[in-house]
Amino acid sequence: MFTKVLVANRGEIALRVIRGCRDLGVATVAVHSEADRTAAFVLLADEAVEIGPAPSAQSYLVIDRIIDAAKATGAEAIHPGYGFLSENQQFARACADNGIVFIGPSPEAMAAMGEKVPARQRMRDSGVPIVPGSDALEDVEGAVAAATEVGYPVLIKASAGGGGIGMRVAHDEKELRESLEAAQSTAQRAFGNATVFLERYVDSPRHIEIQVLADTHGNIVHLGERECSIQRRHQKILEEAPSPTIDAATRARMGEAAVTAARAVGYVNAGTVEFIYSNGEFFFLEMNTRLQVEHPITELVYGVDLVVEQLRIAAGEVLQLRQEDLVPRGHAIECRVNAERYAKNFMPSPGQVTGYREPSGPGVRVDSSLAAPGMVSPNYDPMIAKLIVWAPTRELAIARMRRALLEYAITGISTNMCYHLAILDDPDFISGDYTTHFIEGHPELIAAAEAWEERKQPFLRVLRDPARAAAIAAAAVAVS
């Protein structure tokens, strides 16, 4: 095992990796921007190195500064977390060139799965089902011809990147002609690669992903599925495991397909194979060659610490998990707690957190970037924390999440917690009968969330004015 690992990330995922290292007795180095000098992950690491100003392009995305920090502190390995440089082939190669272990897949595996067009071809050749679609498009006439063959409606998708950035739906030739150039331009700006392709727009789609672990000795296992269909603007906000719609037989088939996909590219470490599921069929979408934001729900359902497994695999250990032993137990739900105004199209709402109190009790876990009141910077993703619950049944998991959201108090900024409460109360969510169109198809959730805001106000007022709360308590004691 390593003696020291540098964490090339920030916020809750940096703290999560530090915890995994600490469980194994591994020392940690945090790199941070000027804005993050007093962040919890910086203060809790064994060492910290400042690498630049607040903008990520001048700090967390500067490969040379991160490599220099690792060399200066004697870190043998780098864990990239998710986002930033986690799927950057150049970064993985720079680690190797400097004798540093990159805790993730090889640059070659990243390249094989990093662009969707060649990845689709590789999956098709390996027997993994893919959504009917096109190869890379060169011009609008080629796109029109491909769409005629695939059949409308079609999705225009960027070959590079992810997160739904630049994705557009075309229901007919007119929409396709109007949207193609914009999609290419968005892809170029976001990923430095203007390549786009078409996929058939699948009716009533669900977003199902399979977690895989692969070691350097040829062993690969899957750890079941995560249901990730509750999304806004193609960004996940609530996930659950197992999926309320996937049965054991389908889980086994999807798991086998995910393992096949990983084996086809010689994949090593933790990864996630994403599928679209509809009417009993599933199709390969892409592979995320890193740890996912929503990994905690898999950890709770399967009793596996994925970060610890990543560290062990990167250190060359043999995977001790066996597929026959990996059986889902109970149900887990994750709500991403974001600094945003849900009633204003989920607009980010960074700023100073003036009061902060985490929930607790049976089955509750909080992976947060905050340990106390502090600043949510406008320079980074608006996610503050991940609230995760586990229970023996889905019904009890929903109840526990509702209880935890009511206890979770953040003041000074707007968050989406009450929007999550509205989702949990929706009949379609409760029944498990939902698709990736859930949020756009339920505009009434905003009014329901505002009603939950009113219900939470008395508790939040106490957090905002602790002196008043103390006076009330003292008066009550005096009366008694």
Among 337, 202, 222, 217, smallest CA distance to 270 is for: 222
CA distance 477 to 400: 32
- Which of 200, 220, 245 is the endpoint of a domain? 200
Look up the CATH number of the domain holding residue 377. Answer: 3.30.470.20
Residue 267 within any structural domain of the chain: yes
Place of tokens 């968005």: 186
Contact between 180 and 196 (Cβ < 8 Å) = yes
Among 197, 206, 169, 225, smallest CA distance to 282 is for: 206
Look up the CATH number of the domain holding residue 26. Answer: 3.40.50.20
Active site residue 290: yes
- Residues 192 and 322 both lie in one domain: no
Residue 476: the pLDDT is 52
pLDDT of 479 over the 80 cut: no
pLDDT of 468 over the 80 cut: no
- Residues 287 and 381 both lie in one domain: yes
DSSP bridge partners of 227: 208, 240
pLDDT tens digits, residue range 359-378?
Answer: 999 999 999 999 999 999 99
Active-site hit among 290, 312, 336, 365? 290
**pTM metric for this prediction:** 0.91
At residue 467 the predicted structure's pLDDT band, cuts being 50, 70 and 90, is low
Sign (positive/negative) of CA torsion 442, 387, 301, 236?
positive
Give how many domains the chain has, as a whole number.
Answer: 3
Domain carrying residue 153: 132-200
The CA radius of gyration of the chain, in Å to the nearest whole number, is 23
Contact between 254 and 274 (Cβ < 8 Å) = no
pLDDT tens digits, residue range 84-114?
Answer: 999 999 999 999 999 999 999 999 999 998 8
Give the percent of the chain with pLDDT over 70: 96
pLDDT tens digits, residue range 23-70?
Answer: 999 999 999 999 999 999 999 999 999 999 999 999 999 999 999 999
